[in-house]
Structure 1
Amino acid sequence: MPVAVVTAVDAVLRDAQVASLMLDAAGVICLRYEVQASTSSLRRLVLSAEGVLEHEQVDLDHPCVSCAMREDAVPTLGRLAQIPDVRAIVLAPPLSADPSVVVGTLRPHQGDWHLASAVSVIDVEAAVEDLLGEDTLAERGLQWAVGDARSVGEALAAQIEYAEQLVIDGDPAGPGAELVEHLRAPEQRLLQGPYALGADEALEGRLDHLIALRRRDARYVEPYGGPTEHGTWTLDLHSERPFHPRRLLENIEALGAGRLRERGRFWVPDRPDSICQWDGAGGQVSIGAVWRTGRELPTTHLVVTGVDAADAERVRTAFARSLLTEREWSAGLELWLGTEDHLAPWLGERDVRV
């Protein structure tokens, strides 16, 4: 039985998309979850085109996406797949859910059902503010739990970058649609309106989780670009040189603050064995030492998208100032062995072998 995963940060658009899929083909039902952040519980609803089939509260041991999928969605999907009249299921996790976590948790349990596609529904009239604004999920009432400190932009960007099918609602020639064009990969399908995606298109394929993860992997970040009529721009900043740890901290606000979507990787000379991730949206930046290098030294590569012209030059300048100078780079890495670890609070303790 095919299962399509539909994510959004807007409940109306998500529900419109789900309803469209259920009305488009016989036997399509929806498994929808609504989070209750204050009580660490969920509401589980099973819906058909005729109405509500089930409505129950689900108490979780831990309020996180993976626990919700593993503890409740897996057995529920298995149970629903046994109903004779059911032909397909649309899974709608709580608003702001990261589809890579949802799918990553569900994949090992496929059997009577399989993951067919991932769909992200986007209100392009609100996309600039949603993706680049400062609102947090907590301020919008969309957080999973009290400790969920993500911005709306971080959550929506994760949905857009993962999904195979992007459904936009609003002016397809407006600034929000232009911003989405800069963020989407060429292989991601773009559709206009929640009724443009047919049930056969959403439910007849097989979701390729690895390709979707590669789009989100900072080691493979690419600048997609797009139209610039409304002033949207994308910078492709790269260098073989690492960031200077102290100067990175000095320039981090100039590099990461403002109405920006930033993704990429960097390294620092006192951690040549580490590839660090850079992930920013709406003025929030998350960094961390995520991968080990191989035989080759890593490189520094950030892709930055914004809508305010003044931000582009500021970011470009801050990037250049954060790198080791040519003279520092030519001096080699030995001088960095045993130096003070300025980035330990963000990257964790340095490996003793470095």
Structure 2
Amino acid sequence: MIREPSEAARRRLRRSLPLAVVCGIDPVLRDALTTDLLLDTADLVAVRYDTDPDRGGLRRLVLDRGGVLEDVPLELAHECISCAMREDALPVIEALAADPRWSAALMVLPVAADPQAVCGTLGPQLRGAHIASTTAIVDTDAARADLLGDDTLAERGLRWTDGDERSVGEALAAQLEYCDTVLADGEAGAPGAELVEHLRGHDQLLVHGVHEVSVDLLLEDVVHDPRAAARRVDPRTVEPWGGPTVHGTWTLDLCSDRPFHPERFLEEIERLGSGELRGRGRFWLPTRPHSICQWDGAGGHVSIGVIGAAGADLPTTRIVVTGIGRLDRERVRRAFRASLLDDAEWERGLAFWLGRDDGMTPWLGEASAAS
């Protein structure tokens, strides 16, 4: 005898559990949002991860409005915490998707997590669930210090492992620039709110007030588009967003078809990247005409590296820099111009540079004919 499936079983078969991913660098704001949403929604479940830098592991909590359902310490099979979290989350979320008690779920990332590193891999692997939205929480009252200051995660007690050398600004900017929704807590007209306006994309939803957010806003008002999110943070497609300037925030769009002169670039790198700045984009060198190089800086911490091949056409140089100091703006502009090949050097052509040592091996690796 064939039994007809129950209504609950029918719902499980035809639904895909919507998953809202939440991240931030402030554990208090992150947990306050999680608690508010759980208390307001009976059929919502949350999977929260926390790092343990001293033990070198992860902790997974599963929570609903009644409290903690699971509290599991996780030993890492390898050094990549993001990889370990994705591997653990996949079966956990799929099991929750099969449970008729839940109509939606939150995945609350560890403080300072890069959402792209998690969502980019986890999303395509989920079965019975899908990433519906991603949300970054930003304290606008502290945004200037967090995004443009020189504090490291280690100095704030937020590092993931002993080798985590990221700055606070680097971690927060990665969250703010990737996520579909930017949840701003603090005064809407504050200087930090103005800075957030300059850094967020026009296609991102900005919401003020952590305690004003509903599950519907995260799961119905926003749709996660992984390609759009990846494009926002890709140095090859960087764009200047700009915003209000009442509190002196500015954004420069520094563009050129020309490459940086290797020696002058190294001489100017401090003037180009030091101070209260957020800068990101791409550049190229005449010694490596087939390589696209990344510039990623926040609060005086700068990272450069090769991120891809240029293809048939020569690459271009474009760095978008946001800051708050008037003198910094002109210093950065001058440093960018000084770093580029001048007219005579550009007219000389690229053959002059082939095979020359550019001094960039420690950051970009060995140059080759294909570089």
Q: So what's the TM-score if we normalise by structure 1?
A: 0.97
SS in 1 for 2:155: helix
Counterparts of 1:36 and 1:315 in 2: how far apart (Å)?
39
1:141 corresponds, among 141, 154, 157, to 157
Q: Counterparts of 2:339 and 2:369 in 1: how far apart (Å)?
A: 25
Q: Distance in 2 between matches of 1:261 and 1:70?
A: 29
Of residues 88, 94, 116 in structure 2, which corresponds to 1:100? 116
Aligned to 1:14: 30
- 2:128 corresponds in structure 1 to 112
What does residue range 146-157 of structure 1 map to in structure 2 within 5 Å? 146-157=162-173
Contact 1:69 1:105 in 2 (8 A): no
Counterparts of 1:303 and 1:262, CA distance in 2: 6
Shift in Å at residue 64 of structure 1?
2.4
- Given candidates 311, 321, 332, the residue that maps to 1:294 is 311
Question: Which runs of 4 or more aligned residues in structure 1 lie more than 6 Å from their structure 2 counterparts after TM superposition?
Answer: none
CA distance in 2, matches of 1:63, 1:340: 34
Residue 278 of structure 1, CA deviation? 0.4
1:270 paired to 2:271: no
Which residue identity lines up with residue 345 of structure 1 in the other structure? P
Q: 2:363 aligns with which of 342, 346, 349?
A: 346
2:153·2:165 contact (CA, 8 Å) conserved in 1? yes
Counterpart code for 2:40: D
**Which of 193, 198, 202 does residue 209 from structure 2 map onto?**
193
Q: Deviations over 1:261-311 (max 9, x none)?
A: 001100000110011110000111001111101221111111000011111
Q: CA deviation at 1:25?
A: 2.6
Indicate conservation of the 8 Å contact 1:63/1:144, yes or no.
Answer: no
SS, match of residue 195 in structure 1: helix
Partner SS state of residue 119, structure 1: strand
Write the distance in 1 (CA, Å) between the matches of 2:208 and 2:348.
54
Specify every segment of 5 or more residues in structure 1 that has no aligned partner in the other structure, as ranges.
none
Question: Is 1:243 aligned to residue 263 of structure 2?
Answer: no
CA distance in 1, matches of 2:176, 2:64: 26
Aligned-residue sequence identity (percent) comes to: 55
2:320 aligned with 1:329, yes or no? no
Q: Distance in 2 between matches of 1:241 and 1:155?
A: 30
Contact 1:40 / 1:62 at 8 angstroms: preserved in 2?
no
**Secondary structure at 2:288 match in 1:** coil
Q: Corresponding residue for 1:170?
A: 186
Give the whole-Å Cα distance in 2 for the aligned partners of 1:264 and 1:141. Answer: 29
1:282 to 285, 289, 299: 299
Q: What letter is aligned with 2:367? A: R
SS of corresponding position for 1:137 = coil
Q: Which runs of 5+ in 2 are unaligned?
A: 1-16
Q: Quick check: 1:5 aligned with 2:21? A: yes
Task: State the one-letter code of the partner of 1:148.
Answer: D
Give the SS at the match of 1:43: strand
SS at match of 1:143: coil
Contact 1:116/1:203 (<8 A) preserved: yes
Give, in whole Å, the separation in 1 of the partners of 2:206 and 2:223: 18
Find the aligned partners of 2:79 and 2:102 in 1 and give their Cα distance.
29
Match of 2:237 in 1: 220
User: 2: distance between equivalents of 1:302 and 1:65?
Assistant: 30
RMSD of aligned alpha carbons? 1.2
Preserved contact between residue 22 and residue 106 of structure 2 (Cα < 8 Å) = yes
Equivalent position amino acid for 1:177 in 2:
A
Matched, 1:182 2:198: yes
Superposed CA deviations along residues 55-90 of structure 1, whole A, max 9, x for unmatched, are 111111124243222331111112222222111110
Give the Å deviation of 1:206: 4.3
**1:158 aligns to 2:177 (yes or no):** no
Question: 2:277 — aligned with what?
Answer: 260
Superposed displacement of residue 353, structure 1: 4.1
CA deviation vs aligned residue, 1:83-118 (integer Å, no higher than 9, x gap): 221111100110000000010121232111111100
State the distance in 1 between where 2:246 and 2:20 align.
34
Q: Do structure 1's residue 121 and structure 2's residue 137 form an aligned pair?
A: yes
Give distance in 2, aligned partners of 1:228 and 1:220. Answer: 24
Which of these two proteins has the greater Rg computed from alpha carbons? 2
Please state how far the C-alpha of 1:250 moved relative to its aligned partner.
0.5
Distance 1:63 1:193, change over 3 A: farther
Q: Please say if residues 86 and 118 of structure 2, whose CA atoms lie closer than 8 Å, have aligned partners that are also in contact.
A: no
